[in-house]
Structure 1
Amino acid sequence: MTLSNLTTDATMNASQPGSSRIGLIVPSSNTTMETELPELFRRQTAATGHTYTFHSARAALKNVTTEELLAMAAKAADCATAVSDADVDVIAYACLVAVMAQGPGAHEPAENVIRQAALDNGHPAEVTSSAGALVRTLQQLGARRVVMVAPYMEPLTQMVSDYIEGAGIEVIDTVSLGVNDNLAVGCLDPLNLPGFARNLKHEGADVIVLSACVQMPSLPAVQAVEDELGLPVITAATATTWEILQLLGHTPAIPNAGGLLAGTVASLVPRIRTDA
């Protein structure tokens, strides 16, 4: 078989039914979203047979400061145009605080900008954002009170808390790890997260947000914390994954990443919907 035939065959295979393309818009210094999401979707593939490929566009961000986050947000349309060239099925804007830095509810206009850019480029796609996915997932779970672990300096953690509260959900306790270098955030040890979660004042909480940042690794700890504390555990990454699956019309079937993605979260949340 010639090289040209191999290339043609690969292209045809990627376009066949049974495979979906996922576009990601990520900070240039992100090292986690492009590892945790593919791992989650690998587990989905193992359970369902449907395959997924990932295609990224990057926007400059080194330090998690309000100034750099707003500069990154201004590049969302250009990144959406670039990633839509791959004719992706879904685009996920994978920087939670870049959206939240624009104020409560900012995920809706941000997602519209990306949606319109892809449409104008001739490759319309479904769109989500990690900020929107986190808020909407909490709302769909019926959560009224949450606790949260975040890697940021305290002012940014407070901004995320205010954003969630702007969606009608009370944040009753937070842990702020005080890291503003985005590469350093990606090097944080997820095995420390159970200890942070254990020390949160989670009495009265409906959901634990174990990582309010797509760059802070959390996947190895999600199931362990949920099993230990008996509360639904979500992260920016698992919420984004759940919403991508919803947009594709796929039923979550991902093991060892919390009840949300295993499809069993309902067994953990009946009291959320019935408490006065």
Structure 2
Amino acid sequence: MTTGAAPATAAAAVERPTGSAPGPRRRLGVLVPSSNSNAESSILRMLAGEADVAAHFSRFRLPPDLGDRIDAGVLGDAPAMLADVEPDAIAFHGTSGSWTGFAGERELCAQLEVVVGAPATTATLAVRAALDALGLRRVGLVFPGPRPIAEQIAVQYAADGVAMPVISAPEVELANAEIARVGEDWIDALLRPAFQGDVDGVVCIGTNLRSAYRVSAFEAEFGVPVIDSATATLWQLLRLAGAARPIAGWGALLQA
């Protein structure tokens, strides 16, 4: 019988990994309100042709009152669970800061950055950054929630240097799940009045409203940019993650 060195085990044959893994190189973390059914689907649609970017999601439950500010206590374990995938950037995919105030949104981002260890944004701050990027200072507002909340949004933006002379909000109050189910005709009817008057763009605030799918058509019709809050969230995430690039088919903001 011949003898020799013992064969190497499988574990010994595999060295500690180095280099880039196949598949997406950039990871985006997204915190989604539990009643939002648009966030994942719209982001995945927008990223369908971007093989080097992946989006990862974690859910939390919104407080019952629209006037409640979102902070780390509301988000619970959702940010920490996203931190486990080591995202390059993270976003709170909600717009409540549009009416509760930009300062609270910046505080939330600071809290998220501590927990996750990556740059953070919110849908509200992403919209505000998009307005600056496109040089828009007088915009029509589209909001699928109650008109009194829409008026609070206009006050917050006016204090931050952006006028909203036209507000389009529905006559009936819809629950968040209902907003996600409205049809294309309903969305179009909500968007159209926001282009009236002397505006240099339109903002759609409400990440569960599927207005992103109608942005290109309305931009072509009226000749001004349309900023959708769900689209703006992805746009800002890509910038923070060092993965900014033009993505066609979703309007001027993502195309730039």
Category of TM-score, reference length = shorter chain = 0.7 to 0.9
Deviates more, 1:168-177 or 1:199-208: 199-208
AA in 2 matched with 1:156: I
- Distance (Å, rounded) in 1 between the aligned partners of 2:181 and 2:34: 15
Q: Report the alpha carbon displacement of residue 52 of structure 1 after superposing the two structures with TM.
A: 2.4
- Distance (Å, rounded) in 1 between the aligned partners of 2:20 and 2:145: 38
Percent pairwise identity: 23
Tell me which residue corresponds to 1:110.
108
CA contact (8 A) 1:147 1:174 kept: yes
Tell me which residue corresponds to 1:267.
none
- Distance (Å, rounded) in 2 between the aligned partners of 1:153 and 1:73: 26
In structure 2, the residue corresponding to 1:57 is in which secondary structure? strand
Between the two proteins, the alignment pairs up a number of residues equal to 240
1:143-182 matches, within 5 Å, as 143-177=136-170, 178-182=172-176
In structure 2, the residue corresponding to 1:29 is in which secondary structure? coil
Could you say what the CA RMSD is over the residues aligned between the two structures, in angstroms? 2.6
Change in CA separation of 1:73 and 1:163 when aligned onto 2, cut-off 3 Å: farther
CA contact (8 A) 1:70 1:101 kept: no
Q: Report the alpha carbon displacement of residue 89 of structure 1 after superposing the two structures with TM.
A: 1.3
1:121-140 matches, within 5 Å, as 124-140=117-133
Deviations 1:133-164 (A, max 9, x none): 01111122221100011110112212222222
Tell me which residue corresponds to 2:134.
141
CA contact (8 A) 2:29 2:57 kept: yes
Deviations 1:199-233 (A, max 9, x none): 23533211111x20111111221100000000011
CA contact (8 A) 1:25 1:92 kept: yes
Tell me which residue corresponds to 2:186.
192
CA contact (8 A) 2:60 2:76 kept: no
Change in CA separation of 1:216 and 1:42 when aligned onto 2, cut-off 3 Å: same
- Distance (Å, rounded) in 1 between the aligned partners of 2:131 and 2:36: 24
Change in CA separation of 1:19 and 1:128 when aligned onto 2, cut-off 3 Å: same
Tell me which residue corresponds to 1:271.
none
The TM-score, its normalising length taken from structure 1, stands at 0.78
Structure 2 spans left out of the alignment, 5+ residues = 1-16
Tell me which residue corresponds to 2:242.
249
- Distance (Å, rounded) in 2 between the aligned partners of 1:165 and 1:108: 18
- Distance (Å, rounded) in 1 between the aligned partners of 2:60 and 2:20: 26
CA contact (8 A) 1:78 1:117 kept: no
- Distance (Å, rounded) in 2 between the aligned partners of 1:54 and 1:218: 20
- Distance (Å, rounded) in 1 between the aligned partners of 2:153 and 2:243: 29
The TM-score, its normalising length taken from structure 2, stands at 0.84
Q: Report the alpha carbon displacement of residue 251 of structure 1 after superposing the two structures with TM.
A: 3.6
More helix by share: 1
1:31 aligns with 2:29: no
Q: Report the alpha carbon displacement of residue 182 of structure 1 after superposing the two structures with TM.
A: 1.1
AA in 1 matched with 2:216: Q
Tell me which residue corresponds to 1:61.
62
